[in-house]
Amino acid sequence: MKTAVYYGPRDVRLEESEVPEIADKEILVKIHACGVCGTDIKTVMRGHPLIKPPTVLGHEIAGEIVKMGKDVMEHKIGERVVVAPYVPDGTCYYCLHGRYTMCSGLYDQTPTPGGFAEFVKVPDNIVKKGTLEIPGTVSYEEASLTEPLACCLHGIEECHVGVGDSIAIVGDGPIGLMHLQLAKVKGATKTILSGQLNERLKLAEELGADVTVNETEEKPVEKVMEETDNRGADAVIVAVGSVAAAEEGLKMVRKGGIINFFGGFPSQSELKLDPNLIHYSEVTITGTFGFSHITFANALQLIGIKRVNVDKLITHKFRLNQVLTAIDVLAERKGLKAVVTISAR
């Protein structure tokens, strides 16, 4: 089979590899689509301290089951599925306290070799808790966005967004636009999204944003205050990994509100914070990472019933031999979300 192997910054090679052999509790999935994640972009562009080459990147996987171990009872050959890149073990301290994304064994089992390949072997724990049948109305490309949507769902739930809330979202990328739609699903009555690209802000309005702000032309903090009777937003989602964006977000949140640093920051980042914001204004500062098997299943359901439109976020489709091109396009902000479409021989 063909695989796109990452060897280091800007070094991705299309190679021939053996199709993985599966054990009795595993399945083999023929990959039809794999989304390109922000982590993939950062890794290919400059490397990643936790990702050691050579390896196959890609973890937003959707495909078809072509082979099953004899002990697999949950699925069937030919089933269209989305595959989670990890699931919690369910037994560690963190899982027993409901903090699934902090699971001590979160990465003990992962799909092999990775999503930028023609086939992937799915280990037994993910077969049981992280392999879901794709609804008939959902394409492979749409299904591949289940994982990032699940991450956003975890983020929006930790902000306790509810009916009548005002939500400010900093960032006009696919993550910001997913948070926007989820805020509407949760009942937010005023959503304010800030970014830098007019075409993305226009799409945000199509997807339900009540107010959009081009931060190159207006001041987002002033706009949020204007739209909330000078209180600030009930919840703020900082959907980009930028210290400047985080500092801006802290100025948008109301007394007693909550702010979520959703995007991962560069190493050695430092944020200056007046602790009185927490003490006197009782602002809750949180961050979220990843998803649980529960939010993963709920995210696919939201895509299936069309409560969240992920199709409009997919601006580019590339073949397996074009992974580096896909990375370049997204790194240059020429599109929103790219999907690598894969067809095995």
Q: Sort strands 190-195 and 166-170 into parallel, antiparallel or unpaired.
A: parallel
Domain annotation covers residue 182: yes
Cα–Cα distance measured from residue 248 to residue 251, given in angstroms and rounded to the nearest whole number: 5
Counting residues of the chain whose pLDDT is more than 90, the rounded percentage is: 94
Give pLDDT tens digits for 191-216: 999 999 999 999 999 999 999 999 99
DSSP category for residue 100? G
Tell me what pLDDT residue 343 has: 65
DSSP of 210-270, one letter per residue?
Answer: SEEEETTTS-HHHHHHHHTTTS-EEEEEE-S--HHHHHHHHTTEEEEEEEEE-SPPPTT--
250 & 330 share domain: no
Domain annotation covers residue 298: no
What's the number of domains the chain is made of?
2
Residue 275: which CATH number? 3.40.50.720
Residue 344 has pLDDT above 50, yes or no: no
pTM: 0.96
8 & 123 share domain: yes
Tell me what pLDDT residue 201 has: 98
202 & 231 share domain: yes
Give pLDDT tens digits for 231-262: 999 999 999 999 999 999 999 999 999 999 99
State which residues form the domain around 48: 2-145+310-341
Residue 71: which CATH number? 3.90.180.10
